[in-house]
Structure 1
């Protein structure tokens, strides 16, 4: 592989800067990085290698993980310590101080910006019992079985005996999460509480809805009750153009709502895009998301998953969250159409090098309008990258569906003048 200093165009975008510390890289027996190590762990978790909250002393790294994550259950390239205990690409302690997510959201509510008409239910007492069939129950929820693994915990299917509906519940172990450090000043529990704070304010048809939080101070478990969405986006063999267009419109629609509310998702990828029985896409997993007080969306902490990481995030310095989310949308669209990643090397560093330097390979038989959109989304320079609004108006996205309607949130925050909120 050529040295980066031999590639002249790199310097234009500052990709020559080396990471502050080497990435902790679990390797195969021959010392090479398996391609599978750069992908997310299967949601089915057949070997139960994902941390399920039952063993607080479980080691932070499971060598069998198939996603390149550096502790059990977390998304790849999130946490990230080298062998000397130094943070890699986290930057949380190096950036300027910011208000906490809860403070920002509370401030918005005090100023009349409330997305949700019905607030998230908060329960501080857990009652364990069994139904008439011997199934375990937590409060009014009947345990039906594990359905997958999310960041930091297992996801379990429950049925609410009061309304008869199914719910996906994240079950998390509080003592364990308070011991796991994701950056110097934050634990895994910090991430979860931030995720809850952000989801409490969200209300959009293309965003997974948080229904209830159960946090009993007398027990070790923390429960996030989420709406149950039947399927997950599967792109292994590529999708038909019409299907990909419908999915992309939903993704853009939901992400534009987030960005208009100064929320950066941070981990857009097929695994976090759930498909309803009617074919609509909902964005889920806000475990690495950030909310900002104003339009300043600079981030220091590393993004979610290596193969969906934007070029500007590979250099280890601050980057704009909205532009990096937009890049991840481009990678997702490429995966939807081709069934594989646009940039993937044999090692984590080689993957980052490809993201930063290699042109995207467009199949010769691809629809020219679609090819143009992908190239604009996967533009290396974030300043020249197409915006989500422009992507929504792109001819391929519009297609025969017509322009994407504007979503009018009841809070009005996304339509405010910038100085209104500051006042």
Structure 2
């Protein structure tokens, strides 16, 4: 199990990165993991989908490991939680997500394809479930990133014994309907016409970049930039965890930077919502190199703690420009995550060193 001390807010109150104090440390006996290396290339360790490359990481790919599918204690479904929170008034969106049940596909005067009032500009990403396309609203001129799915395809993809990919997409929609925060990508509209096969998620378009590409630039980001990014990520993650939502795939590719320098957390395709503070999970569909040790071991784990670990790996990438634990295969990577000590270069800022060692602590408690 895990224990906590302090909170995210401690860092938010500091003028510098010194110590989080919110780390949850699992009790575990570190041991080798056993996974078939032949299933995975080195690239698979760094991505949850190799086709996802621009702004959004597209849809999830469930990496097989020893973790079973689903939550440890099922409790209420995500639909029931959403309905309950709606009735209780705990969904604090000023503008509810627009729900459209009529799809009209036409062309504008220039021959560009249109979906209702949105004019297609270009494809910006793709994944195992669908694609992400840049559209522009012909009424207000604003750009939007629209996730495009085919319901028939989603219903054929089995992600768990009793769940299809459609379940994952509907969960993502339900979770994003609950969210309204400056450090989280906003869901604007859902277009689901029962008479068509298409399903659209209209999202805020972040016309910027990731916090860093891959493992980060050689030598890392500048201290002031990394600190600013970290504060934004923590603010968004605090908001999610306060609402008992686990992101499940925190990494640079899912942390988008606006033109004004604000970081927004995106891609909730593998996220989970809980009715209370019990955030135990078994399914771990995130990106292998950002996976927490307890999930590498196939243990039931706490989702918020796993998000915290992934945040630590992300910070390591931002400031040092490399991954803390990366092997040639999935087996090797998981072994390193579980068993290898954290390596921090000489000469690093002592407070940053303490911060990284605190977040990426694997010691028994």
- TM-score band w.r.t. shorter chain: 0.7 to 0.9
| Partner residue, 2:12 | none
**Map of 1:136-151 to 2, 5 A cutoff?**
136-150=113-127
The alignment status of 1:117 with 2:121, answered yes or no, reads no
Deviation (angstroms), 1:74: 4.9
Supply the distance in 1 between the matched residues of 2:123 and 2:173 (Cα, whole angstroms): 21
| Partner residue, 2:263 | 281
**Alignment partner of 1:355 out of 330, 337, 356:** 337
When normalised by structure 2's length, the TM-score is 0.86
| Partner residue, 1:91 | 69
The alignment status of 1:290 with 2:261, answered yes or no, reads no
Q: Is the 8 A contact 1:150 1:170 kept in 2?
A: no
Deviation (angstroms), 1:340: 1.4
**Alignment partner of 1:207 out of 159, 172, 184:** 184
| Partner residue, 1:196 | 173
The alignment status of 1:174 with 2:174, answered yes or no, reads no
Q: Is the 8 A contact 1:79 1:182 kept in 2?
A: no
Q: Is the 8 A contact 1:215 1:222 kept in 2?
A: yes
**Alignment partner of 1:371 out of 347, 350, 353:** 353
Supply the distance in 2 between the matched residues of 1:305 and 1:151 (Cα, whole angstroms): 14
Q: Is the 8 A contact 2:124 2:133 kept in 1?
A: yes
Q: Using CA pairs below 8 Å that are at least 6 residues apart, which structure has the higher relative contact order?
A: 2
| Partner residue, 1:50 | none
Supply the distance in 2 between the matched residues of 1:315 and 1:258 (Cα, whole angstroms): 26
SS at match of 2:203: strand
Which structure: larger Rg? 1
**Alignment partner of 1:36 out of 32, 39, 43:** 43
Q: Is the 8 A contact 1:15 1:312 kept in 2?
A: no
Q: Is the 8 A contact 1:141 1:158 kept in 2?
A: yes
Supply the distance in 2 between the matched residues of 1:332 and 1:370 (Cα, whole angstroms): 13
Supply the distance in 2 between the matched residues of 1:255 and 1:25 (Cα, whole angstroms): 35
Supply the distance in 1 between the matched residues of 2:298 and 2:66 (Cα, whole angstroms): 8
Q: Is the 8 A contact 2:192 2:200 kept in 1?
A: yes
User: Alignment length, in residue pairs?
Assistant: 331
The alignment status of 1:26 with 2:39, answered yes or no, reads yes
Deviation (angstroms), 1:42: 5.6
Q: Is the 8 A contact 1:310 1:328 kept in 2?
A: yes
SS at match of 1:105: helix
Q: Which ranges of structure 1 fall in alignment gaps of 5 or more residues?
A: 1-10, 28-33, 46-66, 68-72, 81-86, 385-423
| Partner residue, 2:29 | 14
**Alignment partner of 2:227 out of 231, 241, 245:** 245
Deviation (angstroms), 1:106: 1.1
Deviation (angstroms), 1:112: 2.0
